[in-house]
């Protein structure tokens, strides 16, 4: 599984990356978490705001720190 956290480096983007990594560790799911900071690459994904989270190429959350339960739901499916 591939998880991308999109954001140019603001505290909320960093917090999102942190909790995504925590949920991956808690669930034991085999996933690579990548932080995407390149603005052009972020723009290609069509997101209006950051932080955003993509799971296996699908945008799951935009402009907010997602709750852990939401992240768990996305990666445990």
Partner 1 sequence: MNQECCASNRPVMMLTCSGASNVGQLSNHAAVELTRDGFGKMFCLAGIGGHLDGFVQSAKDVPQMVAIDGCDTGCAKATLEHAEVPLKNYIVLTELGIEKTHDFDLKREELERVKEAVKGVCFENSPLIPVVDQDSVNCCT
Under rule CB under 8 A, residue 13 binds partner 1:
yes
- Which pair of structure tokens corresponds to residue 35? 């932080």
Q: How far apart are CA 3 and CA 74, in angstroms?
A: 10
Could you tell me which stretch among 7-15, 21-29, 67-75 binds partner 1 (CB under 8 A)?
7-15
Strands 2-6 and 52-55: antiparallel
| 8 Å CB contact between 55 and 42 | no
Subset of residues 48 to 77 that bind partner 1, contact rule: CB under 8 A = 48-52, 58-64
Residue among 28, 30, 40, 69 that touches partner 1 (CB under 8 A): 40
Of 10, 25, 43, 49, catalytic: 10
Active-site annotation, residues = 10, 13
């Amino acid at each position: 599984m591939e998880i991308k956290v999109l954001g140019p480096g603001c505290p909320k983007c960093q917090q999102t990356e942190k909790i995504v990594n925590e949920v991956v560790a808690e669930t034991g799911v085999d996933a690579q978490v990548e932080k995407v900071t390149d603005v052009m690459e972020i723009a290609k994904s069509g997101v209006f705001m950051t932080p955003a989270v993509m799971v296996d190429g699908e945008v799951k959350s935009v402009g907010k720190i997602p709750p852990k339960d939401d992240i768990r739901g996305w990666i445990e499916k």
